């Protein structure tokens, strides 16, 4: 079956590239942390200026991002050893697969040439979307290098991968993006640490009977069926507005995910109160209320 060949070939490519550069460091474990500014009231963030690094990729490897996890690096690419996966953590593996995809550089070149011809500015799309989404959550935003105002906290976003990827369950190519996010106080304390993934899920979420485990950590933003393409030809030679719309969606959804993680000032503020002043309808527990 064609899809099996592709998967095996891609895994082999990923494995060969990964092992070539691997170190013996142990996999990097990062607990996921919900946003908790503590006593501080955060009204503005200073965001790094290099969130959108590198060019778009077109990955010819079907991927189900259900398992992307900051907290368990050695799980994304089949065939890659945990040690190799440990280079840069889970998300380093994604970079590795992007490198492997880069071996098929003709395909990546086509995508990037197309985007260049369309005047697509990924950085502008992302930062404009981030400003709008953070604004909707009540936060102002500076970007490194602009303006002199000091922000209340720092936001480090790293979009490790964006572009188009073969979606799981043979449904074609879909836009994709993966980003690491960390929020830090002005004192350098980590206020939030998480991952956002924008990906198509495929028609049936899980092929393993009985479902599977809890899966990964990453906040998953869905991709609608209307943003699918049959193949790379359709992306670069089909309706250009549609192709651009799809990649714009991936970057905007990433921004929406980042803002979502900062929602409401954090989980501490959002959760409802104690038993004494509990919300109407909260289950009663124990004896006296």
Nearest to 164 by CA among 112, 93, 89: 112
If one asks whether residue 284 binds other proteins (CB under 8 A), the answer comes out as: yes
Phi first, then psi: what are they for 71, rounded to 5°? Answer: -95, -5
Residue 183's SS3 state is strand
Q: Which of 47, 219, 232, 246 binds other proteins (CB under 8 A)?
A: 219
If one asks whether residue 218 binds other proteins (CB under 8 A), the answer comes out as: yes
Given the rule CB under 8 A, which of 17-25, 125-133, 230-238, 262-270 is the region that contacts other proteins? Answer: 262-270
Q: Which of residues 75-104 bind other proteins (CB under 8 A)?
A: 75-76, 78
If one asks whether residue 187 binds other proteins (CB under 8 A), the answer comes out as: no
Q: How far apart are CA 114 and CA 97, in angstroms?
A: 22
If one asks whether residue 105 binds other proteins (CB under 8 A), the answer comes out as: no
Closer Cβ to other proteins, 52 or 61, answer by number: 61
Q: Which of 119, 145, 188, 279 binds other proteins (CB under 8 A)?
A: 279
Given the rule CB under 8 A, which of 101-109, 171-179, 224-232, 281-289 is the region that contacts other proteins? Answer: 281-289
Q: How far apart are CA 87 and CA 11, in angstroms?
A: 17
If one asks whether residue 136 binds other proteins (CB under 8 A), the answer comes out as: no
Q: Which of residues 164-183 bind other proteins (CB under 8 A)?
A: 168-169
Q: Which of residues 19-58 bind other proteins (CB under 8 A)?
A: 26-29, 31-34, 36
Specify the long-range contacts of residues 233-236, CB closer than 8 Å, at least 24 apart: 234/173, 235/58, 235/111, 235/114, 235/164, 235/173, 236/110, 236/111, 236/113, 236/114
If one asks whether residue 138 binds other proteins (CB under 8 A), the answer comes out as: no
Instruction: Please name the residues in contact with 217: beta carbons below 8 A apart, sequence gap of 6 or more.
Output: 32, 68, 69, 70, 71, 72, 194, 195
If one asks whether residue 188 binds other proteins (CB under 8 A), the answer comes out as: no
Name the token pair of 33: 């942390």
How many chain residues interact with other proteins (CB under 8 A)? 67
């Amino acid at each position: 079956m064609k899809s099996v060949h592709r998967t095996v070939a891609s895994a082999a490519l990923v494995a060969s590239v990964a092992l070539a550069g691997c170190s013996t460091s142990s996999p990097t474990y990062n607990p996921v942390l919900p946003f908790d500014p503590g006593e501080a009231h955060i009204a503005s963030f200073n965001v790094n200026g290099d969130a959108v690094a590198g060019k778009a990729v077109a990955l010819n490897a079907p991927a189900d991002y259900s398992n992307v996890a900051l907290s368990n690096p050695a799980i994304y690419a089949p065939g890659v050893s945990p040690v190799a996966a440990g280079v840069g953590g889970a998300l380093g593996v994604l970079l590795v697969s992007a490198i492997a995809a880069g071996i098929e550089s003709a395909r990546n070149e086509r995508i990037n040439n197309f985007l260049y011809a369309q005047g697509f500015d990924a950085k502008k799309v992302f930062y404009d979307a981030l400003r709008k989404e953070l604004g909707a959550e009540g936060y102002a935003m500076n970007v490194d290098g602009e303006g002199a105002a000091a922000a209340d906290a720092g936001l480090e976003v790293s979009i490790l991968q964006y572009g188009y990827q073969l979606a799981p369950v043979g449904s074609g190519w879909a836009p994709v993006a993966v980003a690491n996010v960390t929020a830090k106080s002005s004192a350098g304390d980590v206020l939030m640490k998480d991952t956002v993934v924008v990906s198509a899920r495929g028609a049936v979420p899980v092929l393993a009977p009985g479902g599977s485990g809890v899966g990964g950590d990453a906040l998953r933003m869905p991709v609608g069926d209307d943003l699918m393409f049959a193949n790379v030809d359709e992306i670069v030679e089909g309706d250009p507005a549609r192709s651009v719309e799809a990649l714009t969606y991936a970057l905007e959804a990433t921004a929406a995910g980042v803002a979502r993680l900062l929602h409401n000032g954090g989980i501490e503020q959002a959760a409802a109160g104690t038993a004494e002043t509990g919300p109407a309808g909260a289950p009663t527990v124990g004896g006296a209320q």
